[in-house]
Structure formats: structure tokens, C-alpha cells
Structure 1
Amino acid sequence: MTAANPSGMSNFRLPVDRLAPHIMQAMEAFDAAADKVSLDQRLLELVRTRASQINACAFCVNAHTQAAAEAGATPKQLATLTTWREAPFFSERERAALLLTEAVTLMSQAAVTDEVWAEVGAHFTETEQAELLWSIAVINVWNRIAGTAHPWPVA
């Protein structure tokens, strides 16, 4: 354990939550607001897990895989989430949510298309689309903080 690494963890970098608590509080409030949606918790956790996989955030993948299982995601869904397009274990609504999740998370590679929005619109109301988009945005922020600073251990 060193001053630069008070936790003794090999991947610890910076305790951003403690160094900028006012921003952490705002982020937690943002997260709480995005969690107060009409969408099914299982669907939200699949979305959060998929975004976290894409962003290679071990802390978030671990946390949201566990939360998805607790919310009712099946072992087959969790095992095949990275291959959801080919796996038969997802509903059309879940597929639309995962499609938007990937498009938004990877938007630096390609714009979110009208075709993606049309698919999402076929399965979600406009309010649900807004809630889904905010939820995707929130997990992407968490992924960037946790995946960069490694302020928390992967438990």
C-alpha cells in the first residue's frame, strides 16, 4: 500500500469520488433520476451491462451483470449478451434496446441512424425512448469514470 495507491489494489488510479465529492453527488443524483423510469429493471440492467462490456469497464460489467441476474435476466441471456444478435434468448423489445445501446455507445464510429430510431420506435413509446436514451447516457458516463480512474475495486 502506498500513498498513490492507498487501497493496495493494482488497478487503483484515482479516488475521484473523494477528490471531487460535489461532482460525485451530482452524478449520483443524475443516476438516481435516470433510474426512476417506467422501463423494466431487467431491461435496464441488460442495457447497462452491454454498454459496460463495450466500454470494457470491469467494475460496471460485474455490478450490472449481478444486478441483471437479480432482476430476472437468465443465465443464457447473460452468457450470450455480447452476441445478442445471434442468440435466441432476447425479445424484440430487448433487441431494440440493445441496438440503441450499441449505437449510442459507439456513436464516435458511426452516427445513430434513422433506421435504429425506427426500430426502437416500433417497440418503445416516445417517453420510453427518452428514458432509455438517458439511461444509456448515464451508464456511459459511469463507464468512463470507473474504467479510467479505477476508483473502486471489482468485487
Structure 2
Amino acid sequence: MNAVHAQPHLRLNHRKANPEAFRTMLALEKFIGGSGLDKSLVELLKTRVSQLNGCAYCVAAHAADLRALGDYEEQLLLLAVWRDSPVFTKRERAALELAECLVDIGERGVPDPVYEGARQYFGEAEYVDLVMVVNTINAWNRISISTGMYPGVKLE
């Protein structure tokens, strides 16, 4: 039986309600964009974290951003089951594992094997950059979900 969901509706426009908070989030995005991390990896992480957090708006937005970077359709289709799919590199797997731990940090922290796995492929600064990607998309997810954003909503 399918659950019946209410029609999505925007509760408020966070950009207009608090422009300074919005500018702060954009500053985080600017930091991530200048981090040197591969843009496709960043979008892959943003999409996966958004899946885990249940943010439909962000899943749709970052899947579109990843598609705009090239042919990533197979990765998008298999992202929810990345552990069982051969289409992800070892570097991507290490980043995805770290991202999942960070989303669920209160339950399991970041176990040493996950940290060490990420550090095999990412230097110290890159590791912090990965953490910032996850922190930033977690914040966007919470903003989007709490304000009622949904795929296709237009904000000015």
C-alpha cells in the first residue's frame, strides 16, 4: 500500500526571510567550489547525503548538477546501493563511506577504518574539505526540508 502524502508546499522563502543566513550558506558553497575537490565527487556526495536525509529538493538539484558535468547516469541510478555496485572508484567509495558516517555521526561516529580508508585517497586538507561538503549539504537539507522546499519550487 502506498502512503498518501500531502501536496508539497513552500512554507517560507528562506532567502527572503533571512538574507544574511542565505549569504552565509553561499559562502560555504564558495569555499567548497574552491577546495580543489573534483566537482563530480562533490555532487555525488551532495546527492547521496541528500538521499540519506530525505531531501527531495536537494536530491533533484544535485542529480541535475552531476548530470550537467557529464555522463553519470549509471552512478546516479546506483548511488543508493553504491556498496554493491562496481561503477564507483575506490576513491569515491572512501568518500561515500565517510559521508555516510558523518550523516549518522551520533550513532557510530567515524570509525578508524573509515577515517584511514578516506586518508588513503585524500590528504589532510582534502579530508577537511570532504567534511565541509557533508556539513554544508546537511545544513542545506535541513533548511530545505524545514521550509517546505520540493523539486521544481522556484525561489527569487
Q: If the length of structure 1 is used for normalisation, what is the TM-score?
A: 0.89
Larger mean CA deviation between 64-73 and 131-140 belongs to 64-73
User: Structure 1, residues 57-116: CA drift from partner, whole Å, max 9, x if none?
Assistant: 011000000111112352111000000000110000000010011000111221111111
Deviates most, 25-34 or 81-90: 25-34
Which residue does 1:70 correspond to in 2?
68
Number of aligned residue pairs: give it. Answer: 146
Mapped partners of 2:40, 2:71: distance in 1: 6
Q: Which residue pairs with 1:90 in the alignment?
A: 88
Stretch deviating more after TM superposition (29-38 or 78-87): 29-38
Partner of 1:4: none
Contact 2:56–2:150 (CA<8 Å) still a contact in 1? no
Q: Pick from 144, 151, 155: which aligns with 1:154?
A: 151
The runs of at least 4 aligned residues of structure 1 exceeding 3 Å deviation read none
Query: In 2, distance between residues paired with 1:108 and 1:11?
Result: 30
| Aligned equivalent of 1:44, options 25, 42, 45 | 42
Aligned Cα RMSD in Å?
A: 1.4
Cα distance in 1 for partners of 2:117, 2:134 equals 16
| Partner SS, residue 72 of structure 1 | coil
Shift of 1:153: 4.4
Identity of aligned residues (%): 34
> Is the CA contact (8 Å cut-off) linking 2:44 and 2:66 kept in structure 1?
yes
| Structure 1 alignment gaps of length 5 or more | 1-8
The equivalent residue for 1:106 is 104
Where do 5+ consecutive residues of structure 2 fail to align?
A: 1-6
